[in-house]
Chains A and B, each alone.
Chain A
Amino acid sequence: MEEAKYKYIGRSVPRIDALEKATGKIKYMSDLSLPNMLFGKILRAKYPHAKILRIDTSKAEALPGVVTVITHKDVPGLNGFGIVVPDMPVLCKDKVRYIGDAVAAVAAETETIAEKALSLIEVDYEPLPIVDDPEEAMKEDAPKIHEEGNIHLHTEIKRGDVEKAFKEADLIIEETFFTGRQDHTPLETEGGVAFVDEEGNLNVYVGSQYPQRDQLQLARCLNWNPKKIRVVSYPVGGAFGRKDELSIQPILALLAIKAKRAVKITLSREESMIAYWKRHPFKMHYKVAFKNDGTLLGVDAYLVEDKGAYSSLGGPVLNLAVEHACGPYRVDNVHVDGYAVFTNNGIAGAFRGFGAPQTAFAIETIMDIASRKLNIDPIDLRKKSALRKGDKTSIGNVLSTSVGTELVLDGIRESNIWKNREELRKISTKPWLKRGVGVALTYQGTGLGVGIPDYGGAILSMNEDGSFSVRVGTVDYGQGIGTSYAQIVAEAMNIPIEKVKVVLGDSFLTADSGPTSASRGVYTGGKAALIASEKMKKTLKEKVSKLFKTDEDNVEFGFGYVYDKVSGNKVTYEELAKNFKEEGKLPEEEGYFLVPTAEIKIENAFGLPHHIFAFSAHTAYVEVNTLTGEVSVLEGAEAVDGGIVVNRQGFEAQVEGGFVMGMGYGLTEHLAIENGIVKNPNFSTYIIPSIKDVPKRIETIPVINPEDTGPYKAKGIAETVMVATAPAITNAIYDATGARIFSIPATPSVVYFAIKEAESEENFD
């Protein structure tokens, strides 16, 4: 096996920050406190859609203990942010577009005073009609949320002749699907501190997935030299896409600048849930054509994305959904028509899976229906059309990088659940408890796609004691990339992993390595660290060849030392560091890596296609209580192609965490918004899986499928591991009960009524 030759790659390496995290010693951005610090609070909109007629802050300003009150008037630069279109106001001026919109903010000596001051700010509104149904919002005469209209993006892809496919089909499946508005629920809500230091630099310590982009977005809002803005984002208590975009940062920065003091903001869970990012709900109508032998002839899909009030990454999310709408299958007759539509339903942005979980639910449910109607084993059916290397994807690009569809399907076939499914589904402890097994396949584009600058960067420097520091701009928000980078450097430099110090997510100290998103952290930052290590080794070779007066080719690397293989002379890294120091300066090398992209561009679909994909097959074993609709996930399994695995235990943790997040998406999680108002903004009503809901076993099956372009042939798995869990579970519910789920989350109520409907259809038949 390829991994056997490695000391660190592919091993289970404990996280470098595990002890600090387990003991609670580590300080997250929200834990930071500074002397003489103020507390900030944000006044949110009173209506989900309204004109602002007047804002009067005088009473709040007069309250003792209030240091600063800010409104739109205090935004010196562009009063807007957003990764693609900066249309979300820092502080609203004329209009509010959702119930979490920020209108004013206060910095005061205590949180209580700041809270009180908010209640003294007077805002007059003229309420506008609420737009809460995306399809209604698309109509010509719908009230406009933004002046340009409510359709943020329309992406349509046509290939082949889908009408002909339907004429030639033996089986046509036509269904409509709905998916929920999932909250990322990171343990750490939006929070942190900001201050201007003695050198006039603005320091912003707030959890982020891309400090260098925050730096630029903040510079634009503040009219401030980006070089004078330091964004620090390590460690972060979870992100999952939520912290890709800005949230409180511009307000926090404005308060600190105006107050000339450090300011801290920490959001309560309720405020976080009401005010910030979510996964976009989708309505999807699919019509899919099959031949009797299982051949996938054609897909016609109509996707409507509930964008919420502002753009952020909703356009790219739609495009990724369009790209992944047909699943990892060969299909030559395709029509995918997608719309991203503004509504007053909160705001949505990046979230693990980025459009893929929505369409995976639809297409994988259809594959399950087809396998039953055609009487073909669900894995065989998927294999029949599964993309292979060299195939064209549904949107027409040729797959030239590693493709793992067959490997993951073979892998999942060998899982405990699938192997024993016939026996497992028969187990019945009570007449009303039904068991079933379901499977689903998916893939996930890694990296940012065509036309978007996509690169990794790393700085590697030798320290005085002979250890090394690697500095990468991507962020460790729990997924463990810091440990992966340490493994990659330790492996490349042939040194103990304890000798690698990792610095992440600091716009002043670390190399820009792009956003920590799109399953790209290990792939890009890791590759850059590897390139920097190779450069470092070259520098060390030169040095040692001079030292031992030998040819560079004779210099080799032992574990923690460098030696001349002719004379046998050796020098430790510590001695080498001393030597460098005496002669002037310790070596520092930079590694940069441009992510390869596809050779073609899909017209009118920015970012498409992706070039590198991770693949996974998911299976779930469930028990359904037909009297109540309660679903217990008894066991799960995932076979995952992430290239060569860098950290085995990190891989397992990602799979387990991804499966459970997928369970929440499939079974319980949906932020309910009625007339623009959030009905379930806390953990008593917004239901995430508890440890009692998690299956006792989630089997992790890595498949070995080297990706030649990645560091040690690795690629990212962070998203794909959650994407197909929901359809695996809903397909298992069908297997158990005969009730088909078309809308997630499949809450007990949804499942219960689906069973009732299935029973009445059966009686009718």
Chain B
Amino acid sequence: MKEIDYFFPKTLEEALQILNENKGSMRVIAGGTDLVVRLKQGQVKEDRLLDISRIDALKGIEDRGEKIYIGATTTHTEILEHPLIKTSVPILHDAIKSIASLQIRNIATIGGNVANASPAGDSIPALFVLNGFVFTKSIEEERKIPIEEFFLGPSKTSLKENEILVGIEITKMQDDEVGFFRKVGQRKGTAISVVNGAVRLKKDSKPNRFSKAFVSLGAVAPTVVRAKIVENALESEEIDSLDKIMYISGLVFREVSPISDVRGSLEYRRDVSINIIYEGLADLFLNGFRRS
């Protein structure tokens, strides 16, 4: 492993200053659970690290009425243990619970999971369907970016060289909303997603009808994607049989462009991205679309 300079600012202002002075040659590190692995493999070109894990302003969960704000360096475990998360955004709770192992969740952060921009990042599909926004800061400006516009490709985001991801905002689920997160890995524990996905549905006054649908899928395209055709179908059709659900889920086929890699083949990813949406919707249907 190469030698690196390590910076440990205590305040956000100090951190932004340092980053601005070193832009291009500096990487931001929080939990480090992905970055350190890549450092060891010699895949990090920068030779300076800005550790933002000791900045209090970047930590914690805030109840903002209809919204929830999560500071970038809040760890997965802190998120899971917060009472608001399990009750108001169970989709995010399930997604984060499925990430890696307890030891990793104790140190890895939500900002890291997002900024890392892995197409397989497990929190991301959940943030997509929860109307997520990414908050960034630099010495010049603050930005609020819709999560869908944040990702440009694998490991590529719209973060500028002098910007820090400072937090995430999501919309709470209302009582008339249901949804799920589902992932398929190569095993149950400590697995990286071969395919993952999340769905949120807002119920209409008529049974089996939905006024709003959000569907997202991970690990089946260069970034996490929204499945708009599926969403449109869910908003226009009566979801009254498993056959109907299979028909609608099959539309996922039109929205994914997976690749083959060491974790799974293109064909498997394509089929299973359809099937996990089917499975989750079927589960909800068989449960009478009740919040469990």
Contact = CB atoms under 8 A, between A and B. Distances in A.
Do these two chains interact?
Answer: yes
Given A672-B262, A749-B268, A627 B186 contact: no
A389 interface: no
B118 to A, nearest CB: 12
A82 interface: no
Q: Which of B101, B272, B283 has the largest number of chain A CB atoms within 10 A?
A: B272
Interface stretch (B49-57, B60-68, B188-196): B188-196
Contact of A749 (B101, B191, B264, B278): B264
A532 B194 CA distance: 57
B155 interface: no
A342 B14 CA distance: 60
B77 interface: no
Contacts of A628: 184, 272, 275-276, 279
Nearest to A664: B187
A687 interface: yes
B10 interface: no
A627 B192 contact: no
A155 interface: no
B286 A430 contact: yes
Contact of B189 (A629, A667, A690): A690
A432 B187 contact: no
B265 to A, nearest CB: 6
B187 A627 contact: no
B268 A431 contact: no
Given A431-B242, A432-B279, A691 B189 contact: yes
Contact of A630 (B184, B192, B278, B282): B184
Interface footprint category on B? 20 to 34
B283 to A, nearest CB: 7
A687 B188 contact: no
Nearest to B267: A753
A752 B275 CA distance: 11
A479 to B, nearest CB: 25
Interface in A672-692: 672, 679-680, 684-685, 687, 689-692
Given A672-B262, A749-B264, A752-B272, A684 B192 contact: yes
Given A672-B262, A685-B262, A748-B184, A627 B189 contact: no
Contact of B186 (A430, A692, A748, A753): A748
Nearest to A692: B189
B163 to A, nearest CB: 29
B240 interface: no
Given A430-B283, A627-B272, A748-B194, A680 B187 contact: no
Given A672-B262, A749-B264, A752-B271, A689 B278 contact: no
B189 A749 contact: no
A632 interface: yes
A693 interface: yes
Contacts of A630: 184
A749 B260 CA distance: 12
A680 B262 contact: yes
A112 B4 CA distance: 13
Nearest to B1: A112
B188 A690 contact: yes
Contact of B187 (A430, A629, A668, A679): A668
A628 B282 CA distance: 14
B263 interface: yes
Contacts of A685: 262-263
Contacts of A747: 186
Interface in A107-136: 112
A689 B242 contact: no
B188 A693 contact: yes
- Interface of A: prevailing SS: loop
A43 B271 CA distance: 43
A684 B192 CA distance: 7
Given A627-B276, A749-B268, A693 B189 contact: yes
Contacts of B267: 753
Contacts of A753: 267-268
A228 to B, nearest CB: 38
Interface string B92-124: 000000000100000000000000000000000
A667 B279 CA distance: 22
Contact of A668 (B186, B268, B271, B282): B186
Contacts of B275: 627-628
B186 A632 contact: no
Contacts of B264: 749
A632 B276 contact: no
A668 B191 CA distance: 12
B256 to A, nearest CB: 15
B192 A689 contact: no
Interface in A734-765: 747-749, 752-753, 756
Contacts of B276: 627-628
Contact of B268 (A432, A667, A691, A752): A752
Nearest to B264: A749
B54 to A, nearest CB: 27
Contacts of B242: 431
B286 to A, nearest CB: 7
Nearest to B41: A270
A756 B268 CA distance: 11
Contacts of A430: 282-283, 286
A628 B280 CA distance: 12
A749 B265 contact: yes
B1 to A, nearest CB: 8
A689 B268 contact: no
Contacts of A690: 101, 187-191
B60 to A, nearest CB: 29
Interface in B241-292: 242, 262-265, 267-268, 271-272, 275-276, 278-279, 282-283, 286
B278 A687 contact: no
Interface in A165-191: none
B32 to A, nearest CB: 15
Contacts of B283: 430
Interface in B186-215: 186-192, 194
Contacts of B184: 628, 630, 748
Contacts of B286: 430
A628 B274 CA distance: 10
A670 to B, nearest CB: 11
A714 B279 CA distance: 51
A753 B265 CA distance: 11
A625 B195 CA distance: 15
Contacts of B190: 690, 692
A195 B271 CA distance: 57
B42 to A, nearest CB: 11
Contacts of B101: 690
Contacts of A693: 187-189
A679 B264 CA distance: 12
B94 to A, nearest CB: 15
A432 B1 CA distance: 47
B252 to A, nearest CB: 13
A668 B268 CA distance: 16
A525 to B, nearest CB: 36
Nearest to B271: A752
Contacts of A748: 184, 186, 194, 268, 272
Given A627-B272, A629-B268, 12 more contacts: A628-B272, A629-B272, A630-B184, A632-B188, A667-B187, A679-B262, A685-B263, A687-B186, A687-B187, A690-B190, A693-B187, A749-B268
26 contacts: A430-B282, A430-B286, A432-B279, A627-B272, A627-B276, A627-B279, A628-B275, A628-B279, A629-B268, A630-B184, A679-B262, A690-B187, A690-B188, A690-B189, A690-B191, A691-B189, A692-B187, A692-B188, A692-B189, A693-B187, A748-B268, A749-B264, A749-B268, A752-B268, A753-B267, A756-B271
Interface of B: 1, 37, 101, 184, 186-192, 194, 242, 262-265, 267-268, 271-272, 275-276, 278-279, 282-283, 286
The 6 closest A-B pairs by CB, nearest first: A690-B189, A692-B189, A627-B275, A692-B188, A749-B268, A687-B186
